[in-house]
């Protein structure tokens, strides 16, 4: 970047301006090989994990529409004239499926949609899953039952793909793969973006280029266009990862930005406790005011569809009714209702959430493709395809660097010796702090540096002490 004389401050000489510009160029010249080496090695070793994450993420983005087609019989019914009371719909579900206990009910959210009665403790259903019984809200007909998982109501197809994307269906140990991918995605993206800007490729076209230069141009152009989305996926993916996610949660708690919840307790004095014991099983025994009154009380507080009713957990608990719409605009208000009187005991509005709690909710919902519906899912699918292409082009450039006869040599080491000491100290300190906060970034980076130093020492020893 050149500096014109008009840009000088009063009293500043042309030589000083040129010196500052030269220093800036010198700093970048010493920093660029380090960024290039980090981008290269991170891309080579982390790219396989990113490739799996991108492929499974693409499948997950498509799973919402596939779910609607695969389970159309359970999800949709012909529109009738009047819906049955929610208590009668639950009774019909319990008659057909008496095993387990009712853990929640999701009334039909729109015309032609079924009601879901969720049962926990059913044999053959995983402990953190429920059995969703689908009820025709107009006739009480049972349309079927499927295993359901998570707040978004994922059915078997989407649950299987979700598990594949999150942990390769390996359980908790498998979550390390996705956290590793999310931890390094922003580093690789940022490094590539810095390198692209340093070469000023914004106006360069791939037309007319051949070989490695064409591949590099395509890699850089697509990377720049996808950079914002990849940064977002990395940041939101870390929010519910195993280790970095816990650190983020602890930080939010320390800042008073945790997601709030209603106090679902009621006064159990004056003989109320005996009835409340039955009310804890209110959907089973018919004690208390009943589901219809509870739902009516929630509606009076403005809780429109879709909602979920959760029965009292014990003798001192209340019903909890919460909105579960995560598409924009989100509906996340929650109320607690006394099971014996039908009175609303507490109201929690999404508008009153702390800022970080809102941002976390929006970020996760956008990452999972529900915030903006099918548009959100199409964007996620496009980002997944872009990431796959970037990885393929990256490996292809490495191959072309070897002139098509094999992978090329890595970027030479030792660039750090030419970087300014203050810059190195700043980078080292920032990397150490960040590595502690995001351990699956810090640990592999430390391992890479240790191996790199060791290989450098071996190479140096061979040069200075050649074998006879």
Tens digit of pLDDT for each residue in 91-112? 999 999 999 999 999 999 999 9
Average pLDDT score, the chain: 86
Instruction: Inform me whether the pLDDT recorded for 263 exceeds 70.
Output: yes
Question: Residue 417's pLDDT is what?
Answer: 67
- DSSP tag of 116: E
Among candidate residues 188, 265, 275, 267, the one with its CA nearest the CA of residue 226 = 188
437 pLDDT exceeds 90?
yes
Q: Is 297's pLDDT higher than 90?
A: yes
DSSP H or E segment with residue 120: strand 115-120
Q: What is the pLDDT of residue 210?
A: 76
| Residues 389, 392, 396, 398, Cα dihedral to 10° | 110
Q: Which stretch of 11-15, 36-40, 163-167, 173-177 has the lowest confidence by average pLDDT?
A: 11-15
User: Which CATH number does the domain 76-154 belong to among 3.10.450, 1.20.120, 3.40.720, 1.10.15?
Assistant: 3.10.450
Q: Is the pLDDT reported for residue 129 higher than 50?
A: yes
| Least confident interval from 23-32, 76-85, 370-379 | 23-32
Please tell me the predicted confidence (pLDDT) of residue 212: 82
pLDDT exceeds cutoff 70 at 76: yes
Q: Look at residue 2 and tell me whether its pLDDT is greater than 50.
A: no
pLDDT at 404: 63
Report in angstroms the alpha-carbon separations of 116 from 95, 109, 136: 14, 10, 9
For residues 443 and 435, is the Cβ–Cβ distance under 8 A?
Answer: yes
| pLDDT confidence of residue 288 | 87
pLDDT of residue 371: 97
Pick the more confident residue, 417 or 226: 226
pLDDT band, very low/low/confident/very high, at 243 (cuts 50, 70, 90):
very high
Cα radius of gyration rounded to whole Å, the chain:
29
Give the residue-averaged pLDDT of 271-293: 61
Q: At residue 276, does pLDDT exceed 70?
A: no
Q: Which is higher by pLDDT, 297 or 204?
A: 297
- Please compute the mean of the pLDDT values over residues 414-433 and round it to a whole number: 77
Distance between CA atoms of 221 and 374, rounded to whole angstroms?
26
**14-70 and 373-401 helices cross at what angle (nearest 10)?**
120
Predicted local confidence at residue 164, as pLDDT: 97
Residue 394: phi and psi, rounded to 5, are -60, -45
pLDDT at res. 462:
80
Q: Do strands 307-310 and 142-148 pair parallel, antiparallel, or not at all (unpaired)?
A: unpaired
b/e map of 188-220 (b: 16 or more CB within 10 Å)?
Answer: bbbbbbbbbeeeebeeeebeeeeebebbbbbbb
Phi, psi of 460, rounded to the nearest 5 degrees: -65, -40
Mean pLDDT computed over 31-45:
85
CA dihedral 455, 458, 459, 464 (to 10 degrees): 160
């Amino acid at each position: 970047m050149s500096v014109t004389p008009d840009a000088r401050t009063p009293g500043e000489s042309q030589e000083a301006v040129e010196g500052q510009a030269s220093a800036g160029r010198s700093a970048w010249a010493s920093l660029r090989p380090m960024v290039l080496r980090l981008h290269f090695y991170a891309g080579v070793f982390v790219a396989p994990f990113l490739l799996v994450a991108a492929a499974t993420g693409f499948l997950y983005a498509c799973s919402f529409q596939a779910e609607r087609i695969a389970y159309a019989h359970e999800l949709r019914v012909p529109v009738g004239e009047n819906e049955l009371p929610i208590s009668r719909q639950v009774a019909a579900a319990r008659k057909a499926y008496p095993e387990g206990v009712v853990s929640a009910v999701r009334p039909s959210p729109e015309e032609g949609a079924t009601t879901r009665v969720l049962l926990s403790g059913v044999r053959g259903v995983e402990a953190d899953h429920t059995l969703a019984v689908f009820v025709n809200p107009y006739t009480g007909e049972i349309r079927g039952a499927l295993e359901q998982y998570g707040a978004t109501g994922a059915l078997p197809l989407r649950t299987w793909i979700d598990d594949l994307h999150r942990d390769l269906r390996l359980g908790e140990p498998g979550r390390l793969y996705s956290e590793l991918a999310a931890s390094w995605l922003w580093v690789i993206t940022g490094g590539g973006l810095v390198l692209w800007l340093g070469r000023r490729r914004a106006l360069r076209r791939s037309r007319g280029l051949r070989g490695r230069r064409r591949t590099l141009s395509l890699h850089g152009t697509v990377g720049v266009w996808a950079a914002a989305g990849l940064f977002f996926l990395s940041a939101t993916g870390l929010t519910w990862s195993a280790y970095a996610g816990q650190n983020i949660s602890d930080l939010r708690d320390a800042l008073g930005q945790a997601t709030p919840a209603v106090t679902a307790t009621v006064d159990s004095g004056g003989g109320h406790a005996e009835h409340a014991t039955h009310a804890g099983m209110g959907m089973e025994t018919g004690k208390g005011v009943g589901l219809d009154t509870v739902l009516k009380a929630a509606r009076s507080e403005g809780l429109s569809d879709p909602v979920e009713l959760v029965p009292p957990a014990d003798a001192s608990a209340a019903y909890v009714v919460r909105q579960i719409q995560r598409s924009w605009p989100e509906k996340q208000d929650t109320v607690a209702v006394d099971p014996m009187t039908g009175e609303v005991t507490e109201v929690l509005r999404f508008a009153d959430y702390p800022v970080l709690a809102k941002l976390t909710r929006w970020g996760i919902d956008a990452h999972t493709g529900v915030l903006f519906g099918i548009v959100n899912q199409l964007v996620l699918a496009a980002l997944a395809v872009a990431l796959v292409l970037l990885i393929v082009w990256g490996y292809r450039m490495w191959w072309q660097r070897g002139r098509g006869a094999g992978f090329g040599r890595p970027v030479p080491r030792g660039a750090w010796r030419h970087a300014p000491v203050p810059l190195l100290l700043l980078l080292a300190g920032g990397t150490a702090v960040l590595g502690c906060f995001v351990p699956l970034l810090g640990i592999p980076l430390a391992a890479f540096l240790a191996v790199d130093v060791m290989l450098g020492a071996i190479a140096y020893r061979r040069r200075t002490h050649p074998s006879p």
